[in-house]
Structures are given as structure tokens and as C-alpha cells.
Structure 1
Amino acid sequence: MLLWQITNRWQAAQRAALKPYGLTHVQFVLLAALTWLGTEVPITQKQLADHAATDPMMTSQVLRALEAAGYVERLPHPTDKRARALQVTTAGREVANRTVRVVEETDHRFFEPLGDLASPFTHSLQRLRNRGQLTRGA
């Protein structure tokens, strides 16, 4: 219950920080992840969903919204005729770069009360995440 309560408060802080940019938190996550992945190789929707650990159907819906906003384009994939290659537009890259700073500042303020415990807390969360990756494949 405690983790649920903390998560809800953290998400509320992120929603408030992203509201002026017209982005939901999941839209931010997928746009930032796609921006970070770069353009060296074509990125598919499945690859993005795997990278962000998001549900593929939800990822598709969010990408449609990002595409409608002019932040993402879905282009023909150069080698896989069934897939689409995702590309961040110039406007998408600009909003991703601006909002990354806002989200990081919000995280800093939210977790600041942990002080020196922030790093061990982060490592503990990473251990739980990595354990979930192991059990999912089993």
C-alpha cells in the first residue's frame, strides 16, 4: 500500500510538471525514450515498448497521440514491410529536451527528502526491476 501511495504522489507531481507542455507522463516517457534511442537504426513500436517496458497496445495508442501532436512520425521500415519505423520530429525533439529537464527537476524535488538514502533506494528499485525481467522470461 505504501508503494502505491508514494507512486500516486510521484505521478501527480509529474503530471503537474508536464501539464504546461500538453504531455501525459507516459507520452513523455515514450517520446524521451525514442529521442534517446536516436536515429542510427530504425526503431519499431515493439522495440520502443520493450525499451520503455510498456504494454504494446498502450504504446500504439500513445504513439498515435504523439503523431497527431506532430512529435512522432511512423515511416515505412526499410527492411521489415510489416513494421513501421518511428522517428521523432524536430518539434518532438525540442519538447523532449525541454521536458527531460522539467521531469528531472521534479524527481529531484520529490526524492530530495531521502538525502543520502536516494542512491541506495535507486539501487534497490533497479534490483526489483531486474528481478522482474528475469522472472518474465522464465
Structure 2
Amino acid sequence: MSKGSERATPGFLVWRLSTKWRVAVDRATAPLGLTHAQYSLVSSLYGMQRAGERPSQRRLADHTGLEPLYVSKLARALESAGLIERTRDPRDPRAVQLALTGRGEEVTLEAVKVVQGLLEQLLEPLGGLDGERTRAFGEELALLLDVPLGPGEPGTEG
């Protein structure tokens, strides 16, 4: 355990780990022209497309946990970079659908490899990607992500 972490609160540790992860992904994906937030969008979009979905910006925002306005901003930047296409949804003219371009798919696959390597490094102390402790850790994180924390969160009043 790092110096000072023994008495840290779980909230502080979650914040530190998320910051450490974001910075590591930012640095690792920068040579590919991506930020961590952009990586989150293109990798999620890649997975959704593989499942046969052409998601709206709103659906991608819900999936990633990012604010819809921020997803819109990121999508415009990714479109300008030639990595995604934004088109109006024929069923709902207010909605914008997203899809990776050919170049976007190439960059995304390279970024996924890079980030996968970081994930393997991060999870090594827990037994690696396939370790029992890693599986349990993932289950605990998923449980915490389902806890509503304030007004406007699913399952809360207000």
C-alpha cells in the first residue's frame, strides 16, 4: 500500500485510483490522438457496433456515464478528426446517431490494445485479468456504481 493510503477513506482511494487511471490512459492514448474521454467514447462505440447497435449520442452518454452535452462536444471533435460519423436518426430527427469510420475503427483497435496493457499492469497485484480477486473487485465496483448518490440519479427522489 502506498504511503498515506493506510488511513485514507474509501472515497479518497476511489478518487485517487480513478485519477491515476485517467492520467495513465490520457498518456497512453495521446500518441493516437485521443484523450481518456474520447477513448471511452470510441471504445464503447466499437463494442456497441459489434453488437449490432448504432447508438445515439444520448445512448452513448448513458452507457459511458458522461454528460450528454460533453458527449456531444467529444463527438464533434472526433468527427472533425475523421474518427466517427454523426448522422440524424431517421426515426427521431432530434437524435444524432454515431458510428466509427474505417479510420476510427483502426485507431480504436490500437487504443484498445494499449489500454488493455495498462489494465493488465493495474490488475497484476490482484492476480491479473483472469484472477479471482480481480473478478471479485469488478463485482464490488459494479455494486457501488449501482448506488444512487443524489437528486436526478436513478432510484432517488428529487
- After TM superposition, the score normalised by the length of structure 1 is 0.89
The code of the aligned residue for 2:59 comes to Q
Q: Which has the larger radius of gyration?
A: 2
SS of residue matched to 1:4: helix
Two-structure CA RMSD over aligned residues (Å) = 1.9
Q: Which residue does the alignment assign to 2:9?
A: none
The answer to which structure has the higher helix fraction is 1
The code of the aligned residue for 1:50 comes to D
Greater shift, 54-63 or 74-83, is seen at 74-83
Q: Which residue does the alignment assign to 2:153?
A: 136
Q: Which residue does the alignment assign to 1:68?
A: 80
Q: 5+ unaligned residues in a row in structure 2: which ranges?
A: 1-11
Q: Which runs of 4+ in 1 moved over 4 A?
A: none
Cα pair distance change 1:137/1:3, threshold 3 Å? closer
Match of 1:127 among 128, 131, 143: 143
Q: Which residue does the alignment assign to 2:134?
A: 118
Q: Are the counterparts in 1 of residues 75 and 84 from structure 2 also a CA contact under 8 Å? A: yes
Q: Which residue does the alignment assign to 2:19?
A: 8
Higher relative contact order (CA 8 A, sep 6+): 1
Q: Which residue does the alignment assign to 1:36?
A: 47
Q: Are the counterparts in 1 of residues 48 and 54 from structure 2 also a CA contact under 8 Å? A: no
Q: How far apart, CA to CA, are the structure 2 residues paired with 1:105 and 1:73?
A: 28
Number of paired residues?
Answer: 137
